[in-house]
Amino acid sequence: MLSAAFLKSWRYAALGAALVPVAAQAGGVPTTPPVNFTNSTTPTVGSTIVNLLDSYARLMLFDPKLRNGVGVMEQNIKTVIGMTRARTAAETLAAIHDDRTAQPYSVLNGLGPLTSSFMTGIASSTTGTPPMSLTPTSYVITTLQDYAPSAKGINYQTGATIGFTTFGDGTATPLASAANFLNNTIRANASTEPPKRTFERFMGSTGPVTNPASITPGVISPLDPRYANYNAVTNKAGLTTADTAQFVIPFYFSSFSVPPAYFNTVNWVRGFTVTQTMVDANGGKPITVPEVGSFDPSANFTPTPFNVGDYVPGIGTGPRPYRLSTAVNVPTLLWQITNGTNPYADGAFVSGHTNLAYNQALGLAFLVPQQYPSLLVRAADLGNNRILAGMHSPLDVIGGRTEATAIAATNIYNALYDANGNRLDWTNPANAAAFAVYQAFTQTQKYLAQSCGTRSVETCIARVQADHDTHGDRDDDDRAGRDDDDHAGRDHDDHHDHEDFNLDPDDTRGYTYRLTYGFALAAAMHVPETVPVQAQVLLLTRFPYLTDQQRTEILRDTALPSGFALLDGNTWDGWGRLNLYAAVNGYAPFFRAVRAVTER
């Protein structure tokens, strides 16, 4: 493996020369997904993005065994139970922070020592409105007390914003192009709602969502608005048992205890209609069920009553972990924001927080590749915090990362390549979408260097690191980003490279472990990694001097092996096995070839 010193010497050496793409043969045209993918909650439009994740259906239906002999879906929930019950006070704060803070803002501290400069230039805000003019801005560090009703409350920072194109006075922010890239280009069509609704209301096939034209008359789509419009308080008649009769019963539900109010697993999934016999058996009192009602800030529960003839909702086919097991330890402060009126509008798979965190982290990494590793680690931490919150499981988080990676790459590719797979000259204003991305990247690099008083971002980071080594902690941004930088292991020399736990697939603290959470299937075929055509654009600013094919080879050589739950067997495969942390750190034999390229 190459030394860190050698890697640094060439890492961005050819950046300026590589801004104009060299002439090359067109690569393949993306199909998994194509640039015109659909991802809508409208039943007649549907979502082809579900094709990225449809192996989840097999896991639900059959719960195949892991190498430890436990079913993958059973282990999925057991992992949540174990993590939430062992959660420390610091982890509780992190879980609440990442639940309540808007994800684009939340991952900003992955920029480490560049955080404050970037936030100032892009007009980051915790209020949802930009400052009137250029204002020094730092990442807000919260405490548990901040979320108390007597303080700022549980919705503190839910309106935080990564940045704006203009200040409050109407003038452009220094990083206006970056704001447009992050808020629009990379986030286009990136919702997790279509997959969530597909798997929370799963009826045996993803076809009605991925191919709406296939729906036969009389068949209800999982995207049908009546599911989202149901409300156990204000719209009790919005659903009936006929609407949920086709919901499948996940095999692994048999591993968990059915709450007595539901009587059996079928009712637990699909819901039921209250009869007089049920009320009589309940001492003449209305029927109540777990988690359908409201919680106060102290987690005191007030259940919603159901009388004779009322439809009582079940938990659906892809519920949040705490609906499956009372052993899941949700932080007290978070119970008040759980959905107590409609479980069918509150599916767990995939994690929306994780999806948006990775989407924005990948966008930031494209603009600031110098901080790529720490941004990846920050996104992985946020995903892990969703498990610690009891709101999601490992598979939910893996699904969120997978969707985000595919959509981020596809959106960038769509801006930089033509319909035949030819790379456009992004320095040419005539290529409007590509030029906008070019402006976002070069504007960000120039602004960050100027803010630091250096000629390059690399020099700025080196200066900050040297100052930190000499003087210790200097500001909140350094404290916010230092752990991420340490996790990323960017400055380790050869003697310490093996100690970077983010590359250790067995170290539960690290990035690579969190790509799989150790969910290795007992029976799995060896499947070579197929890197999607557009994936290489995620490395474009990290390795600007390489060809598309060379960047693709980096991704292939650093990809995870096959055999992990959810990462293989999807209609559109290849995204879940990408290990971008390994790729951007040069952790592969491929770098012998890179040495040859860079020394020509």
Rounded Cα distance between 397 and 385, Å, is 10
- Domain ranges within the chain, ordered by starting residue: 63-190+351-598, 193-320+336-345
Tokens of 407: 């959509």
> Tokens 């699904």 correspond to what residue?
399
Q: By C-alpha distance, which of 208, 246, 281, 189 is closest to 44?
A: 208
Q: Could you give the 3-state DSSP secondary structure of residue 306?
A: strand
Residues written for the chain: 600
- What lies within 8 Å, CB to CB, of 5 at 6+ separation is 493
pLDDT of the residue at 499: 76
Q: Which residues of the chain have pLDDT under 70?
A: 1-27, 471-498, 587-600
Tokens of 497: 């490279």
Which helix (H) or strand (E) segment is 272 a member of? strand 272-273
Q: Could you give the 3-state DSSP secondary structure of residue 15?
A: coil
Q: Could you give the 3-state DSSP secondary structure of residue 303?
A: strand
Neighbour count for residue 312 (Cβ, 10 Å): 22
Whether 347 and 319 have beta carbons less than 8 Å apart is answered as yes
Tokens of 28: 């393949």
**How far is CA 547 from each of CA 14, 15, 366, 407, 555, rounded to the nearest angstrom?**
13, 13, 16, 21, 13
Q: What predicted TM-score, i.e. pTM, was given to this entire model?
A: 0.91
Mean pLDDT (the chain, rounded): 90
Q: By C-alpha distance, which of 30, 31, 103, 67 is closest to 359?
A: 103
Which helix (H) or strand (E) segment is 117 a member of? helix 115-122
pLDDT of the residue at 219: 81
Rounded Cα distance between 57 and 60, Å, is 5
- What lies within 8 Å, CB to CB, of 75 at 6+ separation is 66, 68, 519
Which helix (H) or strand (E) segment is 267 a member of? helix 265-270
**How far is CA 277 from each of CA 113, 259, 260, rounded to the nearest angstrom?**
65, 18, 15
Whether 547 and 24 have beta carbons less than 8 Å apart is answered as yes
Whether 438 and 430 have beta carbons less than 8 Å apart is answered as no
Rounded Cα distance between 334 and 315, Å, is 19
pLDDT of the residue at 586: 76
- What lies within 8 Å, CB to CB, of 82 at 6+ separation is none
Rounded Cα distance between 277 and 283, Å, is 10
pLDDT of the residue at 424: 97
- Backbone torsions φ then ψ of 301, nearest 5 degrees: -105, 130
pLDDT of the residue at 598: 39
Which helix (H) or strand (E) segment is 312 a member of? strand 311-312
Tokens of 254: 């048999």
Tokens of 228: 């989202």
pLDDT of the residue at 467: 81
Mind giving me the DSSP string for 493-522?
A: -HHHHTT-GGG-TT-TTSTTGGGTTT-BBS
